[in-house]
Structure 1
Amino acid sequence: MAQVFTMNAQLLRYRQQQRRQREIASLEQRTFVRLHVRREEINRITRLSDTNCLWELRMDRNAFAVLCDLLQTRGGLVDDGQVTIEEQVATFVNILAHHNKNRSMQVRFFRSGETISRYVRRVLRTLLSLQDMLFAKPTPIPEDCTESRWKCFKLIIIGCLGALDGTYIGVTVPDVDRPRYRTRKGHIATNVLGVCTHDLKFVYVLSGWEGLATDSRVLGDAVTRANGLKVPTGTYYLVDSGYTNGEGFLALYRGTRYHLQEWENNSRAPRNHEEYFNMKHSRARNVIERCFGLLKRRWAILRSPSHYPIKIQGRMITACSLLHNFIRMYMAVDPKENARLAFDELPIGEDLPEVLAYIETVESSQIWTQWRDDLAREIYDQWRGRKA
């Protein structure tokens, strides 16, 4: 009886060993298959063709390689032996481009949800650390500018640096915070301030403000921040009528038509200097609307609320603007813009002289209002002279 019991115990141990060996072999096989499929997927996205890379990552293969090298050498992004640099960056950019959820990325790359989330946040931190490099340096409109959109605002004192405006981007917030993020139209969104140059590159982006906040309040916060918007004394940005017309910010005449649709749908010519100034101002300031349009067309995560924490959502908005600048710097043809924009065709402004002071407040100024009137009358008289 004891001998039979011993034989049964040995047989049981043998079967358990065989089962463990089969499980180990199966696990190794699954790991090998997953590694192979993962590599094939990354190669298909980033190395097979520019068409695939553009569709998946909004940039060609060369630009993607430059981005990976930039994040690694300048940002300090590391290949820790588990996830390669290419997979980290491709996962992050693909989420921004298509607003893919964590679960879909788990299935696609055979990764756990925790791994996907950890490396997305790592790439996000690294990209944000390169703001000084990727945000454009504003330059004033040169005196010899011949572009009809900008020549009215060419070098005066130092000159016009570009345009700024605010836009709403939908976000997901806790129920207790929803009233503060509710806009006038009832949407739950964050009020984002964007500042751009005349060649469609972002100079500064401030995200995170509640949708209830006014544009003027957001701009005031941006100017007073230690690392905020820097407007050298004597320069200015074009702003709409929702902002104060004061030093550094040239606004429209309120109460006078200025929307581009009003001019396109009505053949009546401007009747006075205020209408003509508003028309020229709107056509130049439209560059910031084009920037926002390109940004939202390129990155699907900005077109619908995501489920990341609100702080991460705000940082992703800034990251999208940085990648927008990167694409325009390293791709001769912007795939989301109709017109071809070659590097040698970009308008180049004059370098700013040594700056002694920056504008620290946003407030109305009688001197600035008088200067706007003088400028409006000057360009209106020039237009009437040419027309005569």
Structure 2
Amino acid sequence: MSRNAFGRLCQILENTGGLRPTRHLTVSEQVAIFLSVLVHHKKNYVVKHDFNVRPDYQWEGSAADGRVLRDSLSRSTGLKVPPGMYYLCDNGYANGEGFLTPYRGVRYHLKEWDRGGGGPQNARELFNLRHAAARNVIERSFGLLKTRWGILRSPSYYSIDVQSCIVVACCLLHNYVRMEMPDDPLESEVLEEPNNGNGPNIDFVSSIETTTAWTAWHENLAANMYAEWLHR
């Protein structure tokens, strides 16, 4: 973050956010410390927290994604898919309501399209191509966030609620940097890294059941997308 962008951020937090100087720290010092924690994940700021609070882990890191998602969906306060929305998933998940997966056995990864063979030949190929492109953008976005904010790259001992606020804060600050610094060197560096959307293609345990209604919606989406593409 440039010096000017930092100064404007401090003004926004003071004038709009209500941040005030304390007895020992100015507003700019408070903001600098907070940014330092986010960027470097300096654990010396949370040593007391680490010793007094027992980490609240629901699943160990080796648990299959499908099991974690199934558990999240089954909880009364768990993951909810907003009406009319859906999550983009790889084919390790079942094509259930609210979760949009690619077609199996059809060209998918972007590097497969780079090898030639022409453009999409049918609705399923076009759907998979656009699914892979969208997934590539998402993966790059997460990669950029984790590159900028070190606190997102390592295990956290904060509560789940605090971790959620940290992620939101990182996203808001990232958007602020993009507005204030159109020529962000970090973003250019991440975008230059090769990424063909060729991530792991592992079949995990299906987390949700496929429904006839959702399958029909999925097929109609692909068909309408292809028809629009043909008449472009």
* Band of TM-score, shorter chain: 0.5 to 0.7
When residues 253 and 68 of structure 1 are mapped into structure 2, their CA distance, relative to the original with a 3 A threshold, is farther
**Which of 46, 68, 73 is 1:117 aligned to?**
46
Alignment of 1:233-382 (within 5 A): 233-303=83-153, 305=154, 310-312=156-158, 318-331=164-177, 332-333=179-180, 335=184, 336-338=186-188, 362-382=208-228
Look at both structures and tell me which one has the larger radius of gyration over its CA atoms.
1
Secondary structure at the aligned position of 1:94 is classed as: helix
- Alignment correspondent of 1:213: 63
When residues 333 and 267 of structure 1 are mapped into structure 2, their CA distance, relative to the original with a 3 A threshold, is farther
Letter in 2 for 1:92: F
Alignment of 1:65-104 (within 5 A): 65-67=11-13, 72=18, 81-100=23-42, 102=44
Q: Distance in 1 between the 2:16 and 2:80 partners?
A: 26
- Alignment correspondent of 1:51: 2
Q: Deviations over 1:270-315 (max 9, x none)?
A: 2332222101122223332122112111113444x46xxx533977
Please say if residues 98 and 299 of structure 1, whose CA atoms lie closer than 8 Å, have aligned partners that are also in contact: yes
Aligned residue pairs, count = 204
Secondary structure at the aligned position of 2:157 is classed as: helix
Letter in 2 for 1:66: I
Please say if residues 38 and 149 of structure 2, whose CA atoms lie closer than 8 Å, have aligned partners that are also in contact: yes
Structure 1 residue 52, shift from structure 2 partner:
4.2
Letter in 2 for 1:117: V
Q: Distance in 1 between the 2:137 and 2:166 partners?
A: 18
Letter in 2 for 1:372: H
Structure 1 residue 252, shift from structure 2 partner:
0.9
- Alignment correspondent of 1:133: none
**Structure 2 residue runs without a partner (length 5+):** 50-54, 189-206
Letter in 2 for 1:81: R
Structure 1 residue 262, shift from structure 2 partner:
1.7
Normalized per residue, which structure has more strand?
1
- Alignment correspondent of 1:232: 82
Of 281-290 and 365-374, deviating more is: 281-290
Q: Deviations over 1:103-157 (max 9, x none)?
A: xxxxxxxxxxxxx4379x6xxxxxxxxxxxxxxxxxxxxxxxxxxxxxxxxxxxx
Please say if residues 89 and 100 of structure 2, whose CA atoms lie closer than 8 Å, have aligned partners that are also in contact: yes
Secondary structure at the aligned position of 2:187 is classed as: coil
Q: Distance in 1 between the 2:76 and 2:13 partners?
A: 28
TM-score with structure 1 setting the length: 0.44
Q: Distance in 1 between the 2:71 and 2:10 partners?
A: 34
When residues 374 and 382 of structure 1 are mapped into structure 2, their CA distance, relative to the original with a 3 A threshold, is same
Q: Distance in 1 between the 2:78 and 2:36 partners?
A: 29
Q: Distance in 1 between the 2:161 and 2:35 partners?
A: 14
Pick 1 or 2: higher relative contact order, CA cutoff 8 A, min separation 6: 2
Secondary structure at the aligned position of 1:337 is classed as: helix
**Structure 1 residue runs without a partner (length 5+):** 1-49, 54-58, 103-115, 122-173, 175-206, 339-360
Structure 1 residue 68, shift from structure 2 partner:
5.6
Letter in 2 for 1:322: V
Letter in 2 for 1:63: L
Q: Deviations over 1:11-67 (max 9, x none)?
A: xxxxxxxxxxxxxxxxxxxxxxxxxxxxxxxxxxxxxxx6247xxxxx632124434
Q: Distance in 1 between the 2:42 and 2:162 partners?
A: 14
Sequence identity percentage: 41
Structure 1 residue 249, shift from structure 2 partner:
1.5
Letter in 1 for 2:157: K
Secondary structure at the aligned position of 2:129 is classed as: helix
Structure 1 residue 248, shift from structure 2 partner:
1.4
Structure 1 residue 228, shift from structure 2 partner:
4.3
1:63 aligns with 2:5: no
When residues 232 and 222 of structure 1 are mapped into structure 2, their CA distance, relative to the original with a 3 A threshold, is same
Letter in 1 for 2:46: S
Structure 1 residue 260, shift from structure 2 partner:
1.7
